[in-house]
């Protein structure tokens, strides 16, 4: 089959690599196009644009085609290929994929070859996805910028001088440039949501416990901050593809993750009611983002939602301090020692910026942060009894200039202050969707963030689809254009 026609189906002018995940799965399942043809087209796209952005840092064409042929064989045998039948997906280098190094962007882990898959990779494979390649992350996945000594720097395919975000910067850059229809990412402090925002795509941070997590290659369990705030989730160019990827990632239980919760993927009926807050906790939100958020609220109203503008939300600024205590404050000296062994400037800067706070914590301070986390989560849940969805900015600023955090202490503080909506929300355990609402005339992405109740990703996605349907579609980026 060529790229312009599907036998028995409508003529197409799109290249196969550019198709939405939902369409790819439907075409492959119906045998109107083979998974192998999709994979070959995806590999061609990867090889054409990845040299300009370095989003995918390892891929094995033979393995990609072999995985695609297994999907085709299942269909030929009359077996259900799964909801992601033949869909090319990328996988972040900080989760185990059997036979690949779980580098987490660190030279010290270049030879840490995974013997087994993490649960999220198993779920994707069982859903019929075709792993296309491994995507880049900053060293130790610390930053909202993506570069490291092992794999090099990843660039934003829309504007090279802007950060692609982090730590799932490779995932967002890849999917924005058409390298795969769905990307896997992880998020402890915005690492799915911020790259999606910066690269002009959509990203979903699921509820804590929704998608099973475990890396056997680590040899030990994560500290408590990682256990109760880090999650895996999808990035995509369409909200419908986010749903498809999310439900595939969450499809299987896994006894290796005691935090996993057998919650239904769709909850009961909820009122079409949302709150919108332009300046949570007094945040100085950029005018362009205020306008984007106002536009998103107007689109929700047009879709039949009641949207109330509110001046205040439950704690976010206070949640940031709790987040930093539980994430960077736990075994702080050990994290510093590892960063120094690695010699990564970004990782050392990320830790140095919180040195005084982390060293002042002690056991009592850590215990207070852990206790306060519960109260903050409770306040959010009570608020969401009234408002099933909350709209707020993704960040206080437009996407940062690349490596802004390394320019000096003032810029470092500026970055962390602007990221309050990214850092604080994981403390709640709630799902949050970063939605691209368009591009400014110079190509800079803008967007909104949507939060819903625990295990109500379906509400995030429904609100996101209502806004998406009334605005511009996310466009593909071509970094070869010099955009």
How remote is the C-alpha of 188 from its chain's centroid? 10
Q: Is 207 a catalytic residue?
A: no
β-sheet bridge partners, residue 450: 391, 433
Q: Which of 29, 34, 41, 92 is catalytic?
A: 92
Query: β-strands 88-92, 130-135: how paired?
Result: parallel
Pairing label, strands 56-58, 147-148 = unpaired
**Residue with token string 């390298």:** 179
Q: Is the peptide bond before 167 cis (omega within 30 degrees of 0)?
A: yes
What 3-state class would DSSP assign to 11? strand
Angle (CA) 179-185-188 rounded to 5° is 155
User: 176 near 199, Cβ under 8 Å?
Assistant: yes
Sign of CA dihedral 418, 460, 95, 184: negative
DSSP 8-state symbol, 17:
G
Identify the active-site residue in 34, 41, 191, 434: 191
Cα→Cα distances 321→228, 318, 329, 424, Å: 15, 5, 10, 8
Q: Which of 167, 207, 232, 434 is catalytic?
A: 167
332-342 helix and 355-386 helix, angle to the nearest 10 degrees = 110
Reduced to 3 states, what is the DSSP secondary structure of residue 360? helix
CB 259 within 8 A of CB 209: yes
The dihedrals phi and psi of 234, each to the nearest 5 degrees, come to -100, 155
299 labelled catalytic: no
**Is 167 a residue of the active site?**
yes
Active site residues: 92, 167, 191
């Amino acid at each position: 089959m060529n790229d312009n026609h599907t036998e028995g189906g409508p003529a197409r002018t799109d290249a196969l690599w550019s198709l939405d995940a939902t369409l790819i799965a439907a075409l492959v399942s119906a045998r109107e196009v083979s998974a192998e043809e999709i994979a070959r087209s995806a590999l061609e796209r990867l090889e054409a644009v990845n040299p300009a952005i370095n989003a995918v840092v390892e891929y094995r064409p033979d393995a990609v085609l072999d995985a695609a042929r297994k999907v085709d064989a299942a269909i030929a045998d009359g077996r259900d290929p799964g909801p992601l039948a033949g869909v090319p997906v990328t996988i972040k280098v900080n989760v185990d994929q059997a036979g690949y190094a779980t580098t987490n962007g660190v030279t010290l882990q270049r030879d840490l070859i995974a013997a087994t898959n993490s649960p999220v990779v198993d779920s994707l494979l069982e859903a019929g996805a075709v792993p296309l390649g491994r995507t880049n992350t900053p060293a130790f996945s610390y930053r909202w910028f993506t570069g490291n000594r092992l794999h090099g720097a990843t660039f934003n395919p829309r504007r090279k001088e802007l950060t692609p975000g982090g730590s799932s910067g490779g995932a967002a850059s890849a999917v924005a440039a058409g390298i795969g229809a769905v990307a896997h990412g992880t998020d402890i402090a915005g690492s799915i949501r911020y790259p999606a925002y910066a690269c002009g795509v959509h990203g979903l941070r699921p509820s804590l416990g929704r998608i099973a997590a475990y890396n056997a290659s680590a040899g030990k369990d994560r500290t408590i901050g990682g256990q109760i705030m880090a999650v895996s989730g999808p990035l995509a160019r369409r909200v419908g593809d986010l749903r498809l990827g999310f439900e595939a990632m969450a499809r299987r239980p896994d006894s290796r993750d005691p935090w996993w919760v057998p919650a239904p993927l769709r909850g009961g009926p909820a009122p079409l009611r949302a709150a919108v807050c332009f300046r949570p906790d007094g945040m100085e939100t950029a005018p362009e983002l205020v306008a984007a958020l106002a536009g998103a609220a107007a689109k929700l109203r047009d879709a039949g939602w009641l949207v109330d503008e509110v001046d205040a939300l439950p704690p976010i600024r206070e949640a940031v301090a709790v987040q930093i205590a539980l994430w960077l404050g736990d075994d702080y000296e050990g994290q510093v020692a590892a960063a120094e062994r690695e010699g990564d400037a970004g990782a050392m800067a990320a830790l140095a910026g919180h040195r005084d706070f982390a060293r002042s914590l002690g056991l009592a301070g850590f215990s207070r942060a852990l206790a306060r986390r519960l109260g903050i989560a409770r306040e959010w849940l009570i608020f969401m009894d009234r408002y099933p969805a909350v709209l707020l900015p993704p960040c206080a600023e437009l996407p940062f200039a690349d490596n802004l955090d390394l320019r000096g202490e003032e810029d470092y503080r500026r970055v962390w202050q602007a990221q309050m909506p990214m850092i604080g929300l994981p403390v709640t355990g709630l799902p949050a969707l970063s939605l691209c609402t368009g591009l400014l005339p110079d190509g800079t992405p803008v967007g909104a963030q949507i939060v819903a109740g625990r295990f109500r990703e379906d509400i995030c996605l429904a609100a996101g689809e209502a806004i998406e349907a009334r605005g511009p579609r996310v466009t593909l980026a071509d970094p070869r254009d010099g955009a």
